[in-house]
Amino acid sequence: MVTGGAGYIGAHACKALRKAGFVPVTYDNLVTGWQDAVKFGPFEKGDLLDRTRLDEVFAKYEPVAVMHFAALSQVGESMSQPGRYWRNNVGGSLNLIEAAVDAACMNFVFSSTCATYGDQDNVVLDENSDQYPINAYGASKRAIEDILRDFEAAHGLRHVIYRYFNVAGADPEGEVGEFHQPETHLIPLMLDAIDGKRDALTIFGTDYDTPDGTCIRDYVHVCDLVDAHVLGLKWLQDGKGSRVFNLGTGCGFSVREVIDQSRAVTNRAVPINEGARRAGDATKLVSGSSRAKAELGWKPDRSNLNTMIADAWRWHQTGHFDK
């Protein structure tokens, strides 16, 4: 059962699951997801806050595992509308976790985030780093991690928690890709500016304590990211214990470096404005990424900046979804 299977990462996960021989059942309320993106298994429309609907879907499919992607996920929005984040992300996840336990579905793969670490300057963040989120989005995800630990202790719910760094790129076969409305993420906004769909990209802050003054992030290809999820599902099915893994490459790129690389990949000018900092942004988020490689055998082969932007650019020129 894939919550958020109609969203960017969830849809790529459904494709990877299908390829690996699973039947991904998408559970999605279509608030931010797209019905068109559900191509690889059944679709069940539903909200995480609707416990009756969750119970129906668990009873209908008797899933072997839950992959839980559904969430509100915009750092900036979480600062202005914290109530929505706590209600949807934490309240919705609690419903889902209780429904899974009641249905005896005891394998749970959860999308967490490096935003749970907060702003720890000049530190490479590994899975044992302290978690001090600086925005409501990160705080909501950390709370769900805690719920999972409590449900394991009380009910034996085994889980793999993935803390994502910045996910980018698209399916190289062009079946699914990134499509948010409104768009808030750096690379798709930049591609919009490059091909004239918006006037310019605004750089949020040029006075950070980094070599070029802009924020540094660790970008990971969405296909590599979802491959890790399939490995995590097999990890649980093999009876291995609950575990937390960072999913990033260990390489950080500044906003200006991403802009330069986009100019090189598309061979076009990138119109930019320099703007103020965005509330909730950490200066630098770079992953200590060795655990997933060592323990899961994860190989993030597509996660170089050039390939991620090239795949995103190809999708950007051809792809979109409808409800």
Separation of alpha carbons 244 and 250, rounded Å? 16
262 contributes a contact to ligand UFG by CB under 6 A = no
Of 81-89, 94-102, 200-208, 242-250, the segment contacting ligand UFG by CB under 6 A is 200-208
The answer to whether 204 contacts ligand UFG (rule: CB under 6 A) is yes
Residues 112-131 close enough to bind ligand UFG by CB under 6 A: 113-115
Q: Of the residues 117, 137, 164, 208, which is catalytic?
A: 137
Footprint of ligand UFG on 170-189 (CB under 6 A)? 184-186, 189
Query: Distance (Å, rounded) from C-alpha 200 to C-alpha 192?
Result: 8
Over the window 55 to 84, marking each residue x when it contacts ligand UFG by CB under 6 A and - when it does not, the resulting string is ------------------x-x---------
Residue type, 117: Y
**CA 109, CA 9: separation in Å to the nearest integer?**
13
Closest approach of ligand UFG to the CB of residue 184, in Å? 5
Distance of alpha carbon 20 from alpha carbon 1, whole angstroms: 15
Structure tokens at 148: 């999972």
Q: Is the dihedral of CA 306, 309, 315, 318 positive or negative?
A: negative
Site string for ligand UFG, 282-311 (x = CB under 6 A): ---x--------------------------
Helix (H, G, I), strand (E, B) or coil at 84: helix
Q: Which of 136, 203, 228, 244 binds ligand UFG (CB under 6 A)?
A: 203
Is 137 annotated in the active site? yes
SS3 call for 158: strand
Structure tokens given for 235: 């990890």
Catalytic residues: 137
